[in-house]
A and B are shown apart, each in its own frame.
Chain A
Amino acid sequence: GAGVSQSPRYKVAKRGQDVALRCDPISGHVSLFWYQQALGQGPEFLTYFQNEAQLDKSGLPSDRFFAERPEGSVSTLKIQRTQQEDSAVYLCASSLVFRGGDNEQFFGPGTRLTVL
């Protein structure tokens, strides 16, 4: 069956450019999460949506990071004025239930962002 998909899979940006990363969650999943994974580290939480509502954005590292899920399905993570420290894999996950943080989350393959 269809899982979580992310696009692009790889993105190279010059420092200062804006990027947009897309996540297509599993159909019908209420909860959607974004995580950032640096090389050799575990994923770190960025933000959480319950349908279209962004209920937790405490993990966003700066105001250059912005996420949206306007219709409660597809989500976009936008990074403005990218910096080298933004280089990482960005993972999207979805969960069927409300309060999906304490239920199984299904992860996409991630987008590897490299900022030169």
Chain B
Amino acid sequence: GESVGLHLPTLSVQEGDNSIINCAYSNSASDYFIWYKQESGKGPQFIIDIRSNMDKRQGQRVTVLLNKTVKHLSLQIAATQPGDSAVYFCAEANQAGTALIFGKGTTLSVSS
């Protein structure tokens, strides 16, 4: 079946460090991947997305890497700030393109 998972439930870093959050997916036919940030009491907020015809995509302080060979997705956050503290979810589109399938999430804690 289709599923998306994450390697670590929590990640603690110091302010200014670079953070890497990892995600494994199971469907080799998946075409679209997305990272969301969710703060307590709020809905998920878009960070960055990537399609399967790309290996890397960069945004402001964030980079998403896609390794289709091992079905692995990662989110890199440069110069992590306390405001980056949240739960991060990776998700993939289902094959019908009608839904996102979310993993369980990684809680990022940034200490100053």
Contacts and interface: CB of A to CB of B under 8 A. Distances in A.
Given A4-B43, A43-B44, A110-B43, A105 B100 contact: yes
A109 interface: yes
Contacts of A35: 102
B34 A104 contact: yes
B97 interface: yes
Interface string B7-48: 000000000000000000000000110101000011111100
Contact of B42 (A103, A106, A109): A109
B104 interface: yes
Contacts of A93: 43-44
A59 interface: yes
Q: How big is the A interface, by class?
A: 20 to 34
Interface in B27-81: 31-32, 34, 36, 41-46, 49
Interface in A80-109: 91, 93, 99-109
A58 to B, nearest CB: 8
Interface residues of B, number: 25
Given A99-B97, A101-B94, A102-B93, A91 B102 contact: no
B89 A48 contact: no
A66 B65 CA distance: 38
Contacts of B91: 42
A26 to B, nearest CB: 13
Contacts of A33: 99-100
A102 B102 contact: no
Contacts of B99: 33, 45, 48, 56, 59, 101
Nearest to A3: B43
Contacts of B43: 4, 91, 93, 107-110
